[in-house]
Amino acid sequence: MMSTVTSSTQFSRVRYVATNDTDLLQGLRNGDSEAYERLIRSHGSAMLAVARRLLRNEDDAHDVLQEAFLQAFRNIDRFREDARLSTWLHRIVVNAALMRLRSASRRPEQSLDDLLPRFDSEGHHASSIDELPMGIEAAFEQREIRTKIRECVERLPEQYRAAIVLRDFEELSTEEVATILGVTENAVKIRLHRARQALRTLLVRELAEAS
């Protein structure tokens, strides 16, 4: 990964050791190859995890990571330091992953509306709601259920999948998720609420089938 990226671009060979994002950015803007390599070492694993969770395909995830880092390298002068470098990288990776999803020929996504609770005219649940035998947080602690959660997340429409991956899996703040997705914080909260409801429905069904 590192050799592929660094061999694709011409850098200077100035000796450089970055101690924080400010120093790292200075090195990147100076075209220092060791700064680029440090960026990949520091953020590559986390960014690859995001790509994997959005795409669920190892080859696609690595391709997206490659594309994202090359894009970051080429556009480093456009980075505004009012955000964290990791947030900026997250946004590039997420956008690249979503573009890959949209351009690929994949099975149709399940409608989120079919997975949300329905209410009658008086605001009551129109049908009974099956509950998980445990909370989502507790479910994450069990390996077998974590696997099913990830499989269920894959079935969510992409905008909801991205929100729940960044907020609940990556544990980014609502503000950071809004910045990465280019939407308001309120929009993130709405997407998360709907995504979590849909995820609960899917997970209840999966656990019922497994038992």
Kindly report the CATH number assigned to the domain that includes residue 191: 1.10.10.10
Angle in degrees, CA 183, 135, 127, rounded to 5? 85
Find residue 119's DSSP bridge partners.
125
Interatomic CA distance for residues 102 and 49, integer angstroms = 19
Q: Are residues 27 and 49 in the same domain?
A: yes
Domain residues for the domain of 32 are 2-103
Find residue 125's DSSP bridge partners.
119
Instruction: Find, among 42, 41, 18, the residue nearest to 29 by Cα.
Output: 18
Looking at 84, 103, 122, which one is the last position of a domain? 103
Give tens-digit pLDDT for 82-122. Answer: 778 888 999 999 999 988 887 765 555 556 666 665 544 44
Residue 110 in 3-state DSSP? Answer: coil
The H-assigned helical ranges of 56-166 are 58-74, 85-103, 136-140, 143-154, 158-164
Q: Are residues 130 and 85 in the same domain?
A: no
Q: Model-level pTM greater than 0.85?
A: no
Looking at 69, 103, 137, which one is the last position of a domain? 103
Q: Are residues 77 and 43 in the same domain?
A: yes
Q: How many domains does the chain have?
A: 2
Name the band, by pLDDT with cuts 50, 70 and 90, for residue 12: very low
Q: Are residues 86 and 131 in the same domain?
A: no
Distance of CA 171 to the CA centre of its chain: 10
Q: Are residues 139 and 80 in the same domain?
A: no
Structure tokens at 42: 């520091």
Residues 82-99: b if buried by 16+ CB within 10 A, e if exposed: eeebbbbbbbbbbbbbbe
Kindly report the CATH number assigned to the domain that includes residue 96: 1.10.1740.10
Q: Are residues 92 and 8 in the same domain?
A: yes
Percentage of residues in the chain with pLDDT exceeding 70?
A: 70
Q: Are residues 30 and 73 in the same domain?
A: yes
